[in-house]
Every structure is written in C-alpha cells, then in structure tokens.
Structure 1
Amino acid sequence: MTDTSAAGSGRRSLLDSVMALGWRRSAVMLLLGFAAGLPILLVFSTLSAWLRLEGVSRTEIGFFAWAGMAYTFKFMWSPLVDRLPLPLLDRLLGRRRSWILLAQIIVIGAILLASSATPSTGLFVIALATVMIAFGSATQDIALDAWRIDVAEDEYQALLVAIYQWGYRFGMIAAGAGALVMADFGGFSFAYTVLAGLMLIGVAGVFLAPEPKRPDALGGGSEAIEGAVKGNPVGEAAAWLYSAVVAPFVDFIVRYRWIALLILTLIGAYRLNDFVLGFMAYPFYVDMGYTLSEIGAVSKVYGVFAMLGGAMLAGIAATRWGVYPVLMVGAIISAVSALAFTWLALVQPTGEITLVNGVAMTPWPQEKDPSILFLTLAITAENVAGGWAGTALIAYMSSLTNRAFSATQYALFSSFYALPGKLFGGFSGIMVDSLGYANFFTTTALIGAPAVLLVWIVMRWRAAREVAAHKPQIS
C-alpha cells in the first residue's frame, strides 16, 4: 500500500468527505463497527457483572480474563484469513466478507450458548462460550480490518476509522449499559439472546458491503517461490505456508528496510502514555472525591462522545491534509492532554482514600465538594485527544500494509501497539504511590514525548524518500 496525501484533492467538509468515500461504504462501516464492538464486553465487564451477581467467586471470575488473550494473539491465525478460501462462502461472498460472516456466526452461536446456561449450574458452558466469543470476535476484527484497508484508498482510511469507532462504541453501549438494563428486566439469559439478535446488524453489513478486489501480485518473494515449485505437491504446500506466514513479514522488511524497526517502535510508543494514564484514571477520580454516578455520567457517557468527536475531527483532517500531519498532531495533543489531569490534581485538594483499622476513610470535607466542571474539562481534553490519536494511529498502521497481506500485517501491528502499554501499565500504581498524582500525570505527558520525536523522524524519512523517487535519473 502506498502512502498518499489528500493535499491534492482540496479541502473537504465532512459531507464532501463522506460523499467522496461513498454512502454505501460509510453505512457498512457503521454496521460492521457495531458488530465488532458488541462482543467485547461479553468477554469482560458485562460477563463479570453477571458472574458476580450469580455468586461466582472473584477468583473464578479472574480466570475468565484469560479469554481476552485471543485479542492479543490474533496475529497467530491472521494468515489464514489472508490466504485460506472458505468453502462455498468464498465463492459467494469473496475472501474478506466470507471470513467476517463466519466470525459473526461463531459469535452469535456462542452468545446463544451462553444464554442457555446459568453460572450456578453451567459455569463450564459459559466459560466455553466466552472463549468462543473472544475467538470469533478477534477473528472478526482481523477480517474487518482487512476489509476496511482493502476497500478504500489511504486518504479515506482515517474517516473510515472514525465511522467505525462510532459504530463500535454503540455496540459497546448495547452490550454494556443496554445488557445490564435488559438483565435487570428479564435476566441475563434474556439479555444475551437479544444481543445475539443485534449481531444480525453486522450480518446485514456483510451482505451490503462491496467485496474488495484481490491484488494481482503478492510480494515478499511469494511469486518466485510458488513458480519454482509448481507441480510439486509438497513444494506447493510449503510455498503456500511461506506465502501465508513468512512473506507478510518479509514484505514489510523489504519495503521499509532499516526504518521498519523504527516504525514498529513508533507503533508501540504512540499510545503508551494513554495506556499508563488509563490504568490510574478511575482510582484518581475516586480519590478526588467524585461519586460513582458523577464518574459514570462524565467519563462513561459524555466522555465517549468527546472521544468520538475527536475521532471524527481526525478523520476529516486526514482527508484534507493527509495521515502524517494528523499523526503528528495526535502525538502532541495526546502528551499535552495528560497535563489536564496534572492541573486537576493541583487545583483541588485530594480526597484520597486511606485505610484506618481496615475501614476505607476519606478526608474530603463536605464544604469542598470536587468540581464537576473541572472534571469535565480534564476528561474533554483527554478524550478528544485520545479519539484523535487513536484514529490517526489506526489510519497510519493501515497505510503501512500491503493489501495482499493486509489481514496479517495489520493484525501484527494492532497486537504490537497494545503490548507495551499493557506491560508498562502494570507499574502505574507504583508510580502513583511514589510520585503522587500530579507528578504521575506529568510523567505520563513526558512518556508521550518520544512518540513525537519518532513521528518527526518517520516524516523526514518519508519526505526524503519522495524526493528521491521524483529525482530525475541520469543515464
């Protein structure tokens, strides 16, 4: 996939950008995004709420978190999504849509399986269903990301990502707040059955979606190897395995050479400060004295729309100025926005909870209730920046892929970017205990500085490569 810029296409409004992208692709992206966002909470928070309400021990609930490892290691079976045609479905729908549909069928079946059991008598069935939901959901992510990359040019990737995030968040709302309300009304089995039905929204998206054209050439040496062993069954099998598993990585290294390691470092570092900050955000809100209702209203309701607003702004900006300027802005505002929490920690006295004889006590005086306005301002800054940066990074990772290996290469990138944050995020509590909240948030802002430098280096490298590509050759 080649890097392109929107500079030559003129400045577009949101309506112009969506019309240029096409209403069909925009609507399909919204529907598929909804189907991608719905299953994830059935592996995490909604599932945990159901299990705890049924009296399952916290130890047993903790074991269910391992099902979420499917999202981390999805790159391991992503080559199958790229290279393996599904019987019958591939001929009817094409490679990308057939895999999305298969994943959705797995998710729907697993949700219905979970709805047929209760934690008190069928915990193993629910555990099996949860693993199936996670596997199907991760597979859907692989195929859906590949479809998104293949179906639109680079200059529209950020806009597609923004639309996807709107659908994704609505899916999460349905499986989060929606599931809890339905469970309160008719039980979790009823809620899960309804959610299985809502997955049909994604199925409709599959049949409405255009199937992207498969690339003629593969890359990574695949053509040469496959040609050399043609007619030899063992050699053809080995060549297929090479093309599916090895060639995507060889292709990436060959295309980017020494800068490939720098690109991977950039991907891993870009959202690192957000991950580290995110682990301590809710303890911070509680320690500042905000009630759960206040936190939920500002962070989980208003904050979601602030994030989606940032995502859409990034999508529009990328269609006007290209991915790289938007990537740089995202790195800068992501780092700077952490200082909003530094400010919040400094302008208000802490209501930090301490334990006295095993009882949680807070020194917060009633006459100094924490300001909802201050909390809203801090969350606005952080969520708008997070929405922008997230969209920019996804669009950038999409632009790096070769469409012949888009499922495998993007799955690798998306797994890689989250790993450093999960590893370093585990030290966030130690950092808060050692530094205090104000210094901790300032430190997370500084953690974002290397990403700014890395984006600048990659932008300089790309500019130099473009100059070299257009330099006249002397014969």
Structure 2
Amino acid sequence: MTAALSSDARAHGHETSAISTPRRLLGLYLLLGFSAGLPFYMFNAVLTLRLARHGVDIVIIGFFAWIALLPTFKFAWAPLLDRCDVPGFSRFWGRRRGWIMLSQLGIFLSMVAMAFTSSDESLPLTALFAILLAFWTTTLEVAADGWRIELAPTQAEQAPIVAANLWGYRSAMVAAGSGAVLVAAWADWTWAYLVIAVAAFAPFPILAAMRPEQEGAVGRSRALIAGTLASLVAIFAAAIVTAAFGWALLSAIQGVGFSAKTNVTPIVLAIALLPFVALAVALPRIRRLPADALATMSAFAAPYVELFWHYGYAVLAVLAFVSLYRMGDVLTLTLSHPLWNEAGYSLHQIGVADGVVALSASMAGVALGGWLSTRLPLVWTLAIGAVTAAAGNWVYVWLWHSEPAAFVLYISVAIDQFGNGFAGAVFVVYLSMLVSPTYPGAQYALLSGFAFLLPRLLAGASGTMQTEIGYDGFFLLSGALSFAAIFLLPVIARVKGRTPS
C-alpha cells in the first residue's frame, strides 16, 4: 500500500462528493451492508452446519467459532485503512472505496477456495480459507464503518443509515444462509459456496462504475487493471502469511498437549480478563497525559489512547457492557444450526427458516430498533434490546424439548432474529455515539471488535459447554448473559467523557 499524498480531510471531501443526496447515501449503505453480510454466514453459521453434516465432533465445531474472533482484532489494521491507499483503486475511486474493492476481491477468491475444499477432508485447509474470508470481510466493514461515521456524525443522522446498512447486512446473511443451505440440499456444498461467491462479488462492478474521487479524472480502465493486480498480490501475500502463522500456532498447541478433550472454558475466561487487567493498569498513566500529548503519538496509538483518555475509568464499565450486550446472539449463532441438525430438521426446513422467516423477522427488528433510536433515549432502547436478545436465546430451549415440526422451528427463528435485529440496530448507534470524530474508523473498530471478544472466545468453547450442560442449559445460559447487560445500564447512562481544557 502507498501512503496517501493528500490530507485525510481532502480525501474524505472528494469521496463524499460522490454521494450527493441522503437517498443515495442510504442506498450505498444498503449495498455495503449486503456486500459484508453475504460472506459472514459462510465462515460462521453455514460452515458449522456444513461441518455438522460431515460428522465433525461438536467440540471441534465449537473451535471453528474462534475464526469469528478475527474481527475482534480489526483495530490492529484499522489505522492502515485510514491513512493508506490501495494502488490503482484509491487513486481513481478514493481511499474508502479502494479498500472496499480490494476486500471484495479477497472475499470472492476466499469463498471460491472454500467451495473447492467443501468435502472438509482437511480441516486445517478449511480453517485457512475461512480465516481469509473472515479477514477480508472484516476489512470491508472497517472501511465502510469509518466512512459512515464521517458522513453522519449525529445520532439522528446515524439511525437511518445504520438501519439501511443492517437491512442490507441481515438480508444478505439470510440470503447466504438460506440460499447456501437450499443449494446444498439440491446439489452440494461446492455449488453452495460458488453461488454465494458470485452474489458477493456483484457490488464490485457497481462500485467500479461510480464517479471518481475527483471530477474529471481519467483512466478508469487503467485504475481498474492496476488495482486488480495490486489486490491479487495483497490477497496472495495474506494467504501465505496466514498459512505460515496457522501452521506455527497448530504446532505449538499440539506441542503442549491441547486437544478436543481439553476443557477450554477456564482458559477462555482467563484470557478474556487480560484486556481489562491491562487497561486498568494503564489507565492512571493515560489519565495524567496532557491533551496535546496525543498530537505527538503514532498514528496507530493516538486513536486508542484518546478514547481511554476521554472516558477514563468509565471506559471499563463501557467495555464490560458492550462485551455482555451481544453475548447471546454470538453464542446462538454458533450452535443454533448444529442444534437444528441434531433435532432432526432437514436442510430444506433449515433453508426456509434461514430465508423468509429470518429475513422478515430480522428486518422488522432492525426497523423498530432504528426508529426507536431516533425517538427514545438510548438507555431505554438498549434495555429493550437486551430483553429481546435474551428471549431469542431462551426460545431454543422450547425448540429442543419439542417434537420436530416446521412451525416450531419457524417461530423460534422468528423470535431469535427479531431480537437480534433490534439489539443490533440499537447497539451500532450506541457505539457510533461513543467515538471521536477525529478518529471514527479506528475507534469504532476497537469498540465493535472488543464488543465481540468475550462472546467469540466463549463461542469457541461452546462445544465443550454443550457436552457438559446440554443444548437446553447452553441456551438458558447464553440468554441470561445477554440479559445481564441491563444491570450495567444505570452506570452506562451516567458515563460522560472529559474534553481538553
């Protein structure tokens, strides 16, 4: 990547000129949400179902949920997207769109690779391509989130854009989940991944046809060729680095005797506490920093130090709250599909549940959550979201103890997806209001990533927990963890950041 020659403000100003009306902005974020939502299910819920159908042990399936941890660490490369351009793409279409186009190429190629290894005969190979798919999907989200916060800095402006983005995201997740499962039922998993790969790539030519960063710019074809070649080099390099790191990590894990029989839950909980301990130790020093100290820090450190300096010790309560709020949704996504499979539901029934049922319920939840976010204080909408999310987990206890019937599956999925959509919309607005307009992309990446650190760590141990307490105990626990976020709301409501004196 090449360092940007123009200032950030100038680059952002050029890019925003390509969106001339609020309607086009909503349409853009509907499209970007769709583009990011399609691949998410393919390395998450669909993959767990695929592994379950191939007879992979539930504990191993749980370990695959750790792939979703990758977005948690997106803060590590988010500053790169704020300050660097993609050769070819960014010169013509601007920095944000350049990264989005690179990411879509990465998503497409990773999913094609998953298609041609769909027999899962080599689980390390399956994991490699799933990790790459997660990486490029996350990179797409980082670029889109930073741009969204810059374009709409207030709560009133954020709510409709968030709703449009989540409509696209969730409709794509449903389309991927339902479409892939139905194609697998009719053909096989290879065709399922190929179909979704083509669908995920569809926004690329739309972006390529958009107006350039600067009016009157020439060389669209040259920029497209140069950007594609540079992107292929970056994608190949990412694959090599990931494969090398994965091999080293697997060797180390096997060397210490770690296996599917190891009880990983205590280890996971200990790891989850480390960021809180480290931050608590660092906060006194950060709080003593003068405001002008941020200007002398590196581009990587400044966004995160500013966030902790701004909120002080209250940031610990904020991080605890965001860690709990989406807990149930993440845990449910990990084991819901293996639950349906073990309960005796067919691929066709699962496809329908993941399709029209999940889409309509999720869209209703997103719409109501986005609308209430413009009408009520966020603390109230956050409370409602916690209750609906918990109910979406607890309903699967009823499903597990009921005789397999289509209406039981469809009602359960509808309740789950409505609560998930509502809580998701409110949560995105809340996180967007926490960040500084000076560092929107990097700070949002940190907060949204940290929000899923503990849930996704525990999701990797979900197979182990299920073997200990069963499916009913697992979903009772996951719902209770989501509901527990309510008890932090009185503290969250009083959090105020300080300003430079």
Q: TM-score interval w.r.t. the shorter chain? A: 0.5 to 0.7
Query: In 2 relative to 1, CA 408–437 (structure 1 residues): closer, same or farther, beyond 3 Å?
Result: same
* 2:480 aligns with one of 425, 436, 446: 446
* 1:256 aligns with one of 305, 311, 316: 311
* 1:382 aligns with one of 392, 416, 419: 416
Query: In 2 relative to 1, CA 40–278 (structure 1 residues): closer, same or farther, beyond 3 Å?
Result: closer
1:134 is matched with 134
1:149 is matched with 149
**Alignment-mate amino acid for residue 450 of structure 2:** F
**Alignment-mate amino acid for residue 251 of structure 1:** E
**Alignment-mate amino acid for residue 388 of structure 1:** F
- Aligned mates of 2:76, 2:290 — CA distance in 1: 21
2:320 is matched with 265
* 1:397 aligns with one of 431, 440, 443: 431
Q: Which runs of 5+ in 2 are unaligned?
A: 1-20, 214-288
- Identical aligned pairs, as a percentage? 30
- Per-residue CA deviations over 1:88-117 (Å, capped at 9, x if unaligned) read 544533332222223223334555677799
- Aligned mates of 2:309, 2:27 — CA distance in 1: 36
Query: In 2 relative to 1, CA 49–260 (structure 1 residues): closer, same or farther, beyond 3 Å?
Result: closer
Is the partner of 2:319 in helix, strand or coil?
helix
Which has the higher Rg, Structure 1 or Structure 2? 1
- Aligned mates of 1:429, 1:288 — CA distance in 2: 16
Query: In 2 relative to 1, CA 203–407 (structure 1 residues): closer, same or farther, beyond 3 Å?
Result: farther
- Per-residue CA deviations over 1:43-97 (Å, capped at 9, x if unaligned) read 45667889999x99999x9798776554343221111012224455445333322
Contact kept in structure 1, 2:179 and 2:351, CA below 8 Å: no
**Offset of 1:405 from its aligned partner?**
1.9
1:33 is matched with 33
**Offset of 1:187 from its aligned partner?**
9.1
Q: How does 1:327-406 map to 2 (within 5 A)?
A: 327-341=382-396, 344=398, 350=401, 369-370=403-404, 372-406=406-440
**Offset of 1:129 from its aligned partner?**
5.9
* 1:302 aligns with one of 335, 348, 357: 357
Query: In 2 relative to 1, CA 44–194 (structure 1 residues): closer, same or farther, beyond 3 Å?
Result: closer
Work out whether 1:200 is the aligned partner of 2:202: yes
Contact kept in structure 1, 2:74 and 2:142, CA below 8 Å: yes
Query: In 2 relative to 1, CA 95–336 (structure 1 residues): closer, same or farther, beyond 3 Å?
Result: same
**Alignment-mate amino acid for residue 139 of structure 1:** T
1:312 is matched with 367
- Aligned mates of 2:50, 2:466 — CA distance in 1: 31
- Aligned mates of 1:392, 1:419 — CA distance in 2: 19
Q: Which runs of 5+ in 1 are unaligned?
A: 1-20, 212-219, 227-238, 352-368, 470-475
Q: TM-score, normalised by structure 2?
A: 0.65
* 2:493 aligns with one of 441, 459, 466: 459
**Offset of 1:301 from its aligned partner?**
4.0
Work out whether 1:105 is the aligned partner of 2:105: yes
Q: How many pairs are equivalent?
A: 401
**Alignment-mate amino acid for residue 142 of structure 1:** V
**Offset of 1:252 from its aligned partner?**
0.5
**Offset of 1:434 from its aligned partner?**
6.1
1:94 is matched with 94
**Alignment-mate amino acid for residue 422 of structure 2:** W
Work out whether 1:162 is the aligned partner of 2:163: yes
Contact kept in structure 2, 1:31 and 1:205, CA below 8 Å: no
- Aligned mates of 1:116, 1:340 — CA distance in 2: 36
- Aligned mates of 1:383, 1:125 — CA distance in 2: 31
2:233 is matched with none
